[in-house]
């Protein structure tokens, strides 16, 4: 079981500090909700943890190993998966082909030619899509799916990597309350095997699924605590009231 630790992370664009000395720890079996106003650095933090942004200060450790200098693909091979804020699916391919491709990520080339894997992959594809009610959309071109379905397809794709640490950037954006509930249940069941970080602007949703919540504002850490602690925290109230 893998823990992801970010310590004193900073990201600077010119003189602007998008992230300023932020630390957090993601443990297996825990769901950490990451909240904060627009532009507070949430996506920047996720991109830094996953290796898509190089921090100007601080370090990232995955399972006790310092991975700060590792490229994203190497972190992914060690069990780190990210769902970006904007869905990254192959819009010209079918739903099944998208998941099939995700299943093959990181496999040695010689295994890609084994037809036995195709049969197993077909079953796994169905199983991965079922929690998102996409298992009856296998042959639909992904680009023709509605926004909520595209988001859910990408969740099935990150699940296909079998991650031990999962970073989710606004996975329920644009979804109906029912779809959002479904994603919440899926995230909760997935967290049995995995450390999860989830960004969402719906505070009720974040409170309902998170064991811990971290709040950012203007690139800085404001507070970390249980949902009840965060709700009662005076600095958190100040951050949100100043944005209403
Ligand atoms: N490439 C860049 N160059 C300069 N500034 C950037 C760059 N990328 C992001 N920023 C700035 O960094 C800050 C943090 O952005 P980030 O996307 O992390 O915020 P966020 O909390 O994810 O916001 P949202 O809730 O809107 O998704 C913002 O002010 C943004 O404009
Ligand atoms: Mg963002």
Q: Which ranges in 71-211 belong to alpha helices (H)?
A: 72-77, 95-104, 109-112, 115-129, 147-160, 177-190, 203-209
Q: What is the whole-number distance in angstroms between the Cα of residue 102 and the centre of ligand 1?
A: 28
The CB of 18 under 6 Å from ligand 1? The reply is yes
The residues facing 19 across adjacent strands are: 11
pLDDT score, position 1: 64
Specify the fold of 1-79+164-244: Rossmann fold (3.40.50)
Q: What is the whole-number distance in angstroms between the Cα of residue 50 and the centre of ligand 2?
A: 14
Asked if 171 and 155 touch (Cβ cutoff 8 Å), the reply is yes
Which of 44, 172, 174 to probe ligand 1 with, by most ligand atoms within 8 A of CB? 44
CA atoms within 13 A on the CB side of 140: 14
Q: 33: part of which helix (H) or strand (E)? A: strand 31-35
Ligand with smallest separation from the Cα of 12: 1
CB-count burial class (<10 Å; 0-12, 13-18, 19+) for 18: buried
Cα 244 from Cα 242, distance rounded (Å):
6
Closest residue (by CA) to atom 29 of ligand 1?
A: 39
Closest residue (by CA) to atom 3 of ligand 1?
A: 13
pLDDT digit string (tens) for 61-106? 999 999 999 999 999 999 999 999 888 899 999 999 999 989 887 5
| Ligand 1 atom nearest residue 19's Cα | 14
The DSSP call for residue 143 is G
Sequence-separated (6 or more) residues with CB below 8 Å from residue 66? 59, 60
pLDDT score, position 205: 93
Closest residue (by CA) to atom 27 of ligand 1?
A: 38
The two tokens of residue 141 are 């071109």
Q: What is the whole-number distance in angstroms between the Cα of residue 103 and the centre of ligand 1?
A: 31
**pLDDT lower than 50: segments of the chain:** none
Q: Look-up: residue for tokens 């909520």?
A: 148
Strand order across the 4-13 sheet? 16-26, 4-13, 57-62, 65-66
Which of 43, 198, 239 to probe ligand 1 with, by most ligand atoms within 8 A of CB? 43
Rounded CA Rg of the chain: 18
pTM for this model (two decimals): 0.92
Q: What is the whole-number distance in angstroms between the Cα of residue 41 and the centre of ligand 2?
A: 7
129: Cα separation from own chain's centroid: 17
The residues facing 165 across adjacent strands are: 80, 195
Residues composing the chain:
244
Give the start-to-end residue ranges of the domains of the chain.
1-79+164-244, 90-162
Which of 10, 17, 18 to probe ligand 1 with, by most ligand atoms within 8 A of CB? 18
The residues facing 25 across adjacent strands are: 5
Asked if 131 and 179 touch (Cβ cutoff 8 Å), the reply is no
Sequence-separated (6 or more) residues with CB below 8 Å from residue 205? 172, 180, 184
């Amino acid at each position: 079981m893998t823990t992801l630790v970010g310590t004193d992370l900073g990201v600077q664009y010119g003189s602007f500090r998008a992230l300023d000395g932020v630390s957090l720890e993601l443990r297996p079996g825990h769901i950490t909700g990451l909240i904060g106003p627009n532009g507070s650095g949430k996506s920047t933090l996720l991109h830094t943890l996953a290796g898509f942004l190089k921090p100007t200060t601080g370090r990232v450790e995955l399972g006790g190993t310092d991975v700060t200098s590792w490229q994203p693909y190497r972190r992914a091979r060690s069990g780190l998966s990210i769902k970006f804020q904007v869905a990254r699916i192959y819009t010209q391919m079918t739903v099944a082909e998208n998941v099939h491709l995700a299943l093959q990520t990181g496999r040695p080339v010689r295994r890609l030619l084994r037809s036995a894997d195709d049969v197993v992959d077909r079953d796994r594809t169905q199983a991965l899509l079922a929690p998102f009610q996409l298992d009856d959309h296998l042959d639909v071109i992904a680009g023709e799916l509605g926004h909520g379905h595209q988001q859910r397809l990408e969740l099935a794709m990150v699940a296909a990597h079998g991650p031990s640490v999962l970073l989710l950037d606004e996975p329920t954006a644009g979804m109906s309350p029912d779809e959002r509930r479904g994603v919440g249940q899926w995230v909760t069941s997935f967290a049995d095997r995995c450390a999860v970080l989830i960004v969402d602007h719906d505070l009720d949703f974040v409170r309902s699924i998170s064991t811990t919540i971290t709040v950012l504002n203007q690139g800085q850490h404001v507070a970390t605590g249980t949902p009840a602690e965060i709700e009662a925290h005076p600095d958190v109230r100040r951050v949100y009231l100043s944005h209403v």
